[in-house]
Structure 1
Amino acid sequence: MPKVGIIYNDLKPVACRVAVELEEKLSASGWDVYMTTGIGGILGYSRPDSPICHTPIDKLAPPGFDEQMSFAIVLGGDGTVLAAFRQIAPFGIPLLAVNTGHMGFLTETYVNELPYALEQLKEGKYEVEERTMLSVQVMRKDNLWWEALCLNEMVLHREPLTCMCHFEIEIGRHAAVDIAADGIIISTPTGSTAYSLSAGGPVVTPGVPVLQLVPICPHSLASRALVFADSEPITIFPATPNQMVMVVDGNAGCYVLPDDKVQMMRSQYSARFIRLQPPEFFRILREKLGWGLPHIAKPTSVELP
């Protein structure tokens, strides 16, 4: 019996309702269905009195989700999609993202189009697009203190955010650089349309094998976004005597002390998006962010008598 998974945002009534209806429909069609919420992919925040607050990257999968699963369907917004991939990426499960949120930049279809999408899934009429993910680790005295799988970006900053600090950053074998800023962002191509974009970073198409470093409000005219090969590992040393906060994909974080270091590299796991039609990134940019829309024609000048 083929296996399928359903991951849904239990804070959204429409996602809960559709999840139950979908489970009934798939079960009636002979599928072995496993359901879970996206909460398992929300890693939480460590606290000064409880600094270790994480589950190993490969231990987040819900019961029943494994390599034998044909695909999974996620019901929610972009945050639920990010959480879902942290749960299933280690097993290489393709994911169809169904938008029940607002922006839905990472989603493929909508609830009202789900019956048609199901038929395509059952008939195998879809493509799988692989997106780069990052492995993020906080090391304290050479011990692993915290780790997470990242699809969008890692952000490191002080509390409050408006306090400037220094970061020493090593990228691969290149010489270390010093950046003075309110914070820094390390982003994947997928994350280039998220926080990185708001901080002035470039948009990167998903198939380009690069990462980018974007300073947040840098205190230098020379500190600008840097794009580099995703084969290069990154090590960040907080060059300031203050405690910092690290946030991954906007919903998981860890305190970083002055003697800690943050290590990042391209993960061995990737996010496998189900595409019901050939991926067209510029169309998504146009529909979601208004990029590339034609200019409104200016009125022709009228000669006065």
Structure 2
Amino acid sequence: MVNTTSSAPLDVAGVRTSTRQIRSTPGYRAFTIANFGVLVLVGALTLYPFLNLAARAFSAEAAISAGEVFVWPVGFNTTTLLSVVEQEMFWLNYRNTIVYTVVATVIAMALTTTFAYVLSKKHLKGRAFLIGLALFTMFFSGGLIPNYMLITGLGFKNTMWAIVLPQAINVFNLLIMKSFFENFPAELEEAAAIDGLSTYGILFRIVLPLSKAVIATMVLFYAVAFWNSWFPAFLFMDEPSLYPVTVFLRNIIAGASGTGEGLSDSAVQIGANIKAVTTILTVLPIVCLYPFIQKYFVSGVMLGSVKG
């Protein structure tokens, strides 16, 4: 008779023994050591610029100019840092940056999410035209002067909306979210529709709770972009009390180099470490935020890039 029984169980002990034998070979040990060394080298090369930046922020100008600063401050100096943070305008502009970033990110996420969800529906009439319209803006823009005239004509000059609305939808982020929603299981939405949920109910109660990875990624993208943005404010705002902190720090750098209107005598005298100090002050909040959403970052991008 033909034996119809299933194959023999996996010999777990044999697999473990074989694995131990492989790990004990000279080739495997050499590979492990080489792999460890490469990872340490890559980590050191990645970390060095940040350590050097922090060291420059707290080093004496003479030591920086002489090239003596590497990963540890030389001639510990906090004059530059204090001359920046002691100014009341700095904290006012810092508050402006937080407000602009939060409001702009919320609006951008609302518009991008809803637009991407609509574009992910292949049965939508006019879908190709809407996608083409979005892609058109990636390659062509109205130009600086027409944009300035438009913002001024709408009455947005010297307001937060001059920063928020023109950058409300980033097409790259839109395409990532559209691809993610296209890969979303249609069966879940169909079951929710049978249960009586409306389109908005499906989006807010089914789709978005299962899209935390891509949402966290888009929040990070938008927040970083709005936090670091300075040119729209520099172009559309005339009142220093409305500036974001990036424009404030740009003016300090310009004043320190003798080409701009210095904000104080001490700020104008800032020398070689001003760029390091301003960079540290600007990126610190984003660096503190990133670890909390880093676990969603790679998975969100990869999920949204399965299909174009």
| TM-score by shorter chain over 0.5 | no
**Is the radius of gyration larger for structure 1 or structure 2?**
2
Larger helix share, 1 or 2: 2
If the TM-score is normalised by the length of the shorter chain, which range does it land in? under 0.3
TM-score (norm 1): 0.25
Bigger RCO of structures 1 and 2 (CA < 8 A, at least 6 apart): 2
TM-score (norm 2): 0.25
